[in-house]
Structure formats: C-alpha cells, structure tokens
C-alpha cells in the first residue's frame, strides 16, 4: 500500500498515488529484467554459475568473464539507456506538441539523427586524424544529435503558428522532412566504400548487437543526462497542455520550456539512434500505456516512461536474441511488429478526437 | 491599485485591430468590456494580458506589465481563456491544480473549494475531456480562481481577467459565475471581463468600457454608458434601455411591430 500523509486526505481525481505505485513496480521490473537479460543468451555461460563462483571466492572462468562483462553487460546497459532515451523523447515531444501521436521516429527527427550518423560514419573517415582523435567514439552520437536537433527545430517552426501546433501539419511535414533526409542519406551512402557500407548496414538494421564499452561510454552520458534532466520540464509541460498562452499566464516561461524540451529530445534521440539505428515505436507505446495506467501528469510520466522504456527494450532485445536463434532478429523489427499495430489501435480509438 | 492601459494599438498583418485604446480599471470593481462582434474586445483583452504584441503601455498597480517576472505576474492575476481544449486525459482535480503547481505550490486543499465556487462539487475525479463545454468552462474558471484564490494578498489586490466567462453557460450558471466575479471584486480584487450579455453587464458591472471598430466609444458607470443613443449607435440597431426599480437597468431590442 501507498502511505498517505494523514493531514492531507487524498482528493478524488488525484492519481499521484497510482503513479507512485507504478514507479515502484517498474523499478522492481527493471532490476529483474536486467538480471534476466544478463543471463540470457546463446552461449553456455550461466549467470547463476558465475554468481556462485563469485560468492565462493573463485575467479570467473575467462569465457564467463568475456561473455558477461564484455558482451552482455554493455549490451544490457545500452538497452536500458536507449529504451529510456526513446521513451522519454516520445513523452517530451508529445508534451511539447500537445499531442499523443508525436514521436521522434514518426515525424522525421530520427531520420535527422540517422543522416547525422551516416554522415559521421562516411565522412568521419576523411577527417584528419587529429580531429578524428578529439571526437573519437563521440563523433557519431554528436553529429546525430545535431541532425535531430535541426530537424526538431525545423519541424516545430513549420507546424506551429501563433502558438498553436497543428497535428496534421506536424505529421505531414514530418513525413516530408523524413523523406528529404532519407534521400540525402541515400546520396551520402552512395559515396561510401565497402567497409563503410558494412558498418552502415549493420547499424541501420536497428540493433543493440554492436554494443561495446567504448560505444556505451560515448553515448550513455548524453542519454543519461537527457533522461535525468527531463523531469525538470514536467510542470512546464503540464501547463502547456492548457495551451501556450494559458501556460504563460500561470507563470511558465514557455519559450524556455520549449527550447529545453527540443534540446533534450534531440540529445536523447540523437544518441539513441547513433548507437542503435532505427528502433521505432518505443516513444509512442510507452507514454501511452502509462497515461492509461496513471494519468498524464508529466511529473510522473517522464520518470515512469524512462523506466518502462528501459524494461520494454530489454524484453524486445531478449526476444530478438531468441526468436530466430542462433541468428539474431534486428530489435527494430521486434519493436515495429509490436508497436505498429499498437499505434493503429491508438489511432482508431482516438479517431473522433484528433481532427486530422 | 489599478490597471491602466495607454494608447494600445494592435495590428495583425497590415490590419489595424486596435487603434489607440486607453482605459483604466480599478481593483474592487467589476469592469466589463462590451461591444459588437469584431469591435476588438478579445484583442484588447489579449493585449491587456500580454498575449499579443502591442504598442502603448499597460501598467498593473503602477508597474509596467513587461517588468513582471512570469511567476510574479501569475501570482498577481489569473486569466480565463475563451476556449480551452486539453490535449491529454487529465482529471478535473489535476486541471484545477495546474495553475498553483506551476509555481511549486500545493493546491490540494483549494481544489474542492474552487470547484464548489463554480458549482461543480464532486467533479474532481471526472475526466476533463468528457465534460460538456459549459462544465469545462467552469473547471477552467476554478483553475484560474485557485491560482489567485485570495482577492487581496500582502502585495495588494489580485486580478481576474475573464474572456467571455459566461459564453457557454446556462442562465443559472451565468448567475453563479457573475456573482462569483462580483464577490471577488467586492472583497477587494480586480475583475475585468469581456461580456456579450448587456443585461448581465448592467446587473453586475461597476464600470463599462464600450468598444467599437477598435476604439473605445465610451467608458464609465453602467448608467453613463448603457444609454439608448450610445448602444443603438454602437451596435447599429435600435435598443431601448429600461429602468427596473429594484435591480437597476435592462436592455431590450426593439422589434418593429406588424
């Protein structure tokens, strides 16, 4: 049960107790899923054996150490970061556009990040060694971030007139932007050499399979920072649900909230796309489920989205490792197979409300 | 403590909507802005709240509107918008709290009181999106009211800016809302409202500002402004103002007989 302070009886319609409970359940689920995911895999390595080895004070077998610490652990951590980053990006973007259908993957923001990542992979090789040395593993996530930032800004400018964001304009402009960016990406890919092409194909499938420590250390700080800073925007986004003018009248610095939300979405999406390619629908499914469970208050929605996004991606990753074992299904295919129908379901349920 | 606007001009595109409007409204009074469709009432309201870029000066309690920090201004005045669609499935309680929580204050205790004031007791658990237009309008009023609950605080009077507060309400709730606003003014707060209904204006306002074609045609007490000649000229139809001994005045359109 949830403790309620005795001096403040809970009022009807206050769902913070449910959101708090959801948060606790999700924390437990995330811990359990992480452990499970760490022990999940094709090789004969077993987590229980490794743990009992450690508890007994024995050295880990070399194979166990490599599989657990160098392959699975970075992959699990990457899954947590990417899942949280994508779900929080979705929730932020929906709050910013005041629409439950906004999602970085749908409206071209991910395409902006992809173009950035592709540019970095193809032209990064041509950089002088001194410059490449400075950026190192950061080059791809940083350029992807710039790509998604410019795209989000452009989209917001196009879809918003006099403080009102048009859903139809947003979705259609997102499609157009996505198409343009993909076309440019195609042009850049034509210039790639064979080894770069291999890198690009591997990356573009949407996968956590390439996770390693250097990649994780380059991209995770950006995602962690974005996810942890997002709840600071919660009050502003709650007020924005009333409309921009009304948000200003309750004391919100609207332009500042919007700028920060755009920057956070761009950072989280950019870094996530840079390391995992195109993983879709997490940003739309997760916040929607949470709104159904405990309401749209962003003070909880943003936190819980991060948690549920991480849990979902860990499960999707486990599915991707299992479904066609010993081969691996790209995780983007798994999330699309679950998220696509779910998205259609949201559309059908809200057909009357959306005035598209 | 007064609201003073001097020489307010607003253009949208190349079209001049407001043309040098000056007005004054006092705390402790209900000030109504009236006028025909397209006379610039709502534009004036949006300029007064700082929503629209405008020329001219607006001062609240002697201080220029632009000199307020957003959160300070939110403590001094609440603004009721004309229409308010909400993008997410908030409950009524969550909507009413938004205004206070935006500046980090707890609002739980005020929610039932604010809802009772707009005659929506027991509505706090309902979903906002499932309410009727009139109910939504009153929830919004409850939200604005919670934001500036005490009409006077240690920094002086607070203000309610209401854009057509009774436009989608039935006659009983029109009276609920008008009484509430009048009471807020009586207890020392300032109320300025865009009104369509001249009779409610005559009943409740202490000051009337009559707009026409982007300018102020007349301002003063209801008895000064609401006269046969002034109203008929402003609205372009024959209107007759009648006296009722107990309640003051009421306005009746003249329909040609036969």
A39 within some domain:
no
- Angstrom distance (rounded) from CA A312 to CA A238: 25
Helix (H, G, I), strand (E, B) or coil at B209: strand
A126 within some domain:
yes
pLDDT at A45: 65
Which residues on chain B are in Cβ contact (under 8 Å) with A241? 86-88, 90, 98
Same domain, A263 and A126: yes
One digit per residue, pLDDT tens: chain A, 356 residues? Answer: 344 444 556 788 889 899 999 999 999 999 999 999 988 776 666 777 777 777 787 777 777 788 888 888 999 999 999 999 999 999 999 998 888 888 888 788 888 988 988 888 888 777 766 666 666 677 888 888 888 889 988 988 888 776 666 767 877 888 899 999 989 988 988 888 888 887 777 677 667 877 888 888 888 999 999 999 999 999 999 999 998 889 999 999 988 898 899 889 988 998 898 888 878 889 999 999 999 999 999 999 999 999 999 999 999 999 988 888 777 888 888 888 888 898 888 778 766 554 44
Helix (H) or strand (E) holding A198: helix A194-204
User: Could you list the residue range(s) of the whole structural domain that residue B151 is in?
Assistant: 2-253
A258 within some domain:
yes
Residue A39's nearest CA partner among A344, A329, A318 is: A318
**Residue A26 contacts residue A309 (beta carbons within 8 Å):** no
Same domain, A167 and A123: yes
Q: Point out the domain boundary residue: A277, A296, A317.
A: A277
Helix (H) or strand (E) holding A269: helix A254-276
Same domain, A220 and A291: no
Same domain, A326 and A230: no
- Angstrom distance (rounded) from CA B203 to CA B182: 10
B167 within some domain:
yes
Per residue in B62-110, pLDDT tens?
899 989 999 999 999 999 988 778 889 999 999 999 988 888 887 778 8
**Binary contact (A241, B88; C-beta < 8 A):** yes
Domain harbouring A181, CATH code: 1.10.3470.10
Domain harbouring B195, CATH code: 3.40.50.300
Residues paired with residue B156 on neighbouring β-strands, in sequence order: B153
Q: Point out the domain boundary residue: A277, A302, A323.
A: A277
- Angstrom distance (rounded) from CA A237 to CA A235: 5
**Binary contact (A15, B126; C-beta < 8 A):** no
What total number of domains does chain A contain?
2
**Binary contact (A235, B104; C-beta < 8 A):** yes
Same domain, A195 and A299: no
Chain A residue with the nearest C-alpha to that of B78: A249
Chain A residue with the nearest C-alpha to that of B113: A11
Same domain, A246 and A209: yes
Number of helices followed by number of strands (H, E) in chain B:
9, 14
The nearest CA of chain A is from the CA of B121 a distance in Å of 11
A20 within some domain:
no
B86 within some domain:
yes
Q: Point out the domain boundary residue: A277, A298, A325.
A: A277
- Angstrom distance (rounded) from CA A290 to CA A281: 14
Predicted ipTM? Answer: 0.91
Which residues on chain A are in Cβ contact (under 8 Å) with B95? 242
B12 within some domain:
yes
Chain B residue with the nearest C-alpha to that of A299: B101
B148 within some domain:
yes
What total number of domains does chain B contain?
1
Residues paired with residue B57 on neighbouring β-strands, in sequence order: B6
pLDDT at B146: 94
- Residues 6 or more apart whose CB falls under 8 angstroms from that of B145 comprise B78, B114, B117, B118, B160, B180, B184
Same domain, A285 and A313: yes
**Binary contact (A11, B112; C-beta < 8 A):** yes
CA B46, distance to chain mean position in Å, is 11
Q: What is the pTM of this model?
A: 0.88
b (16+ CB within 10 A) / e for B154-191: eeebbbbbbbbbbbbbeeebbbbbbebbbebbeeebbb
Same domain, A283 and A273: no
Same domain, A291 and A219: no
- Angstrom distance (rounded) from CA A70 to CA A73: 6
Which residue stretches of chain B are H helix?
41-48, 70-76, 92-101, 110-117, 133-147, 171-186, 198-204, 222-225, 228-235
Same domain, A306 and A231: no
**Binary contact (B79, A246; C-beta < 8 A):** yes
Those residues of chain B that have pLDDT short of 50 are 258
Which residues on chain B are in Cβ contact (under 8 Å) with A8? 106, 108-109
Write down the residue that tokens 């300029």 correspond to: B47
Residue A113's nearest CA partner among A314, A280, A317, A228 is: A280
Which residues on chain A are in Cβ contact (under 8 Å) with B13? none
Mutate to test the interface with B, among A250, A253, A292 (most CBs of B within 10 A): A250
Mutate to test the interface with B, among A9, A12, A350 (most CBs of B within 10 A): A12
Which residues on chain A are in Cβ contact (under 8 Å) with B70? 248, 251-253
Same domain, A250 and A327: no
Same domain, A124 and A161: yes
Q: Which among A11, A246, A251 is the nearest to B103, CB-wise?
A: A251
Please count the residue pairs, one from chain A and one from chain B, whose beta carbons lie less than 8 angstroms apart.
103
**Residue A141 contacts residue A221 (beta carbons within 8 Å):** no
**Backbone phi and psi for residue B195, each to the nearest 5 degrees, phi listed first:** -125, 145
**Residue B53 contacts residue B8 (beta carbons within 8 Å):** no
Chain A residue with the nearest C-alpha to that of B49: A249
Residue A82's nearest CA partner among A260, A215, A208 is: A208
Which residues on chain A are in Cβ contact (under 8 Å) with B125? 12-13
B258 within some domain:
no
CA B235, distance to chain mean position in Å, is 21
**Binary contact (A13, B112; C-beta < 8 A):** no
Write down the residue that tokens 């592709």 correspond to: A118
User: Could you list the residue range(s) of the whole structural domain that residue A314 is in?
Assistant: 279-345
Q: What is the DSSP string of A296-318?
A: S-HHHHHHHHHHHHHHHHHHHHH
**Under an 8 Å CB criterion, which residues of A touch B?**
8, 11-15, 98-100, 235-236, 238-239, 241-243, 245-253, 291, 295-297, 353
Q: What is the dihedral of CA A46, A50, A56, A58, to 10 degrees?
A: 130
B74 within some domain:
yes
Residues paired with residue A107 on neighbouring β-strands, in sequence order: none
**Binary contact (A13, B94; C-beta < 8 A):** yes
């Amino acid at each position: 049960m949830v403790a309620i302070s005795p001096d403040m009886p809970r009022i009807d319609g206050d769902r913070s107790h449910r959101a708090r409970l959801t948060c606790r359940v999700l924390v437990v689920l995330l811990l359990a899923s992480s452990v499970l995911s760490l022990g999940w895999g094709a090789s004969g390595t077993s987590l229980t054996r490794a743990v009992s080895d450690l508890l007994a004070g024995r050295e880990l077998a070399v194979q166990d150490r490599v599989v657990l610490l160098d392959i699975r652990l970075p992959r699990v951590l990457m899954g947590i970061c990417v899942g949280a980053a994508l779900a929080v990006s979705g929730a932020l973007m929906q709050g910013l556009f005041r629409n439950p259908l906004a999602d970085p993957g749908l409206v071209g923001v991910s395409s902006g990040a992809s173009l950035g990542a592709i540019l970095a992979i193809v032209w990064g090789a041509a950089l002088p060694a001194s410059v490449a040395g400075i950026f190192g593993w950061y080059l791809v996530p940083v350029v992807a971030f710039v790509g998604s930032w410019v795209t989000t800004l452009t989209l917001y400018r196009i879809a918003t007139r006099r403080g009102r964001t048009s859903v139809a304009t947003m979705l259609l402009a997102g499609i157009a932007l996505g198409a343009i960016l993909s076309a440019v990406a195609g042009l850049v890919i034509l210039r790639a050499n064979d080894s770069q092409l291999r890198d690009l194909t591997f990356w573009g499938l949407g996968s956590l399979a390439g996770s390693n420590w250097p990649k994780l250390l380059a991209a995770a700080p950006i995602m962690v920072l974005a996810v942890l800073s997002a709840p600071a925007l919660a009050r502003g986004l709650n007020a924005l649900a009333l409309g921009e003018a009304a948000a200003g009248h309750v004391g919100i610095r609207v332009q500042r909230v919007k700028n920060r939300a755009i920057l956070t979405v761009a950072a989280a999406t950019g870094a996530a796309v840079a390391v995992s390619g195109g993983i879709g629908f997490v940003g739309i499914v997760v916040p929607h489920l949470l709104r159904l469970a405990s309401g749209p208050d962003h003070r909880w929605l943003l936190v819980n989205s991060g948690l549920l996004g991480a849990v979902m991606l860990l499960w999707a990753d486990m599915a991707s490792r299992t479904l066609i074992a010993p081969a691996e299904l790209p995780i983007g295919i798994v999330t699309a197979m679950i998220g696509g129908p779910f998205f259609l379901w949201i559309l059908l349920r809200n057909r009357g409300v959306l005035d598209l | 403590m007064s609201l003073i606007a001097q020489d307010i001009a607003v253009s949208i595109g190349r079209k001049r909507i407001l043309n040098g409007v000056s007005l004054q409204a006092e705390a402790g009074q209900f000030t109504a802005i009236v006028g025909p469709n397209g006379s610039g009432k709502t534009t004036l309201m949006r300029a007064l709240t700082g929503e629209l870029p405008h020329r001219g000066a607006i001062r609240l309690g002697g201080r220029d509107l632009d000199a307020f920090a957003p959160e300070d201004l939110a403590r001094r005045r609440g603004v009721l918008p004309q229409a308010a669609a909400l993008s997410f499935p908030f409950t009524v309680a969550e909507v009413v709290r938004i205004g206070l929580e935006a500046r980090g204050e707890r609002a739980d205790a005020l929610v039932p009181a604010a809802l009772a004031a707009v005659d929506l007791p027991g509505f706090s658990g309902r979903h906002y999106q499932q309410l009727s237009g009139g109910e939504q309008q009153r929830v919004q009023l409850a939200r604005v009211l919670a934001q500036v609950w005490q009409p006077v605080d240690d920094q002086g009077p607070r203000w309610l800016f209401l854009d057509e507060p009774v436009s989608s309400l039935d006659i009983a709730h029109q009276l609920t809302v008008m009484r509430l606003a009048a009471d807020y003014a009586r207890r020392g707060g300032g109320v300025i409202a865009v009104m369509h209904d001249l009779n409610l204006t005559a009943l409740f306002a202490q000051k009337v500002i009559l707009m026409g074609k982007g300018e102020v045609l007349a301002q003063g007490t209801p008895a000064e402004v609401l006269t046969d000649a002034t109203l008929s000229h402003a609205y372009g139809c024959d209107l007759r103002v009648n006296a009722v001994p107990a309640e003051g005045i009421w306005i009746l359109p003249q329909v040609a007989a036969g």
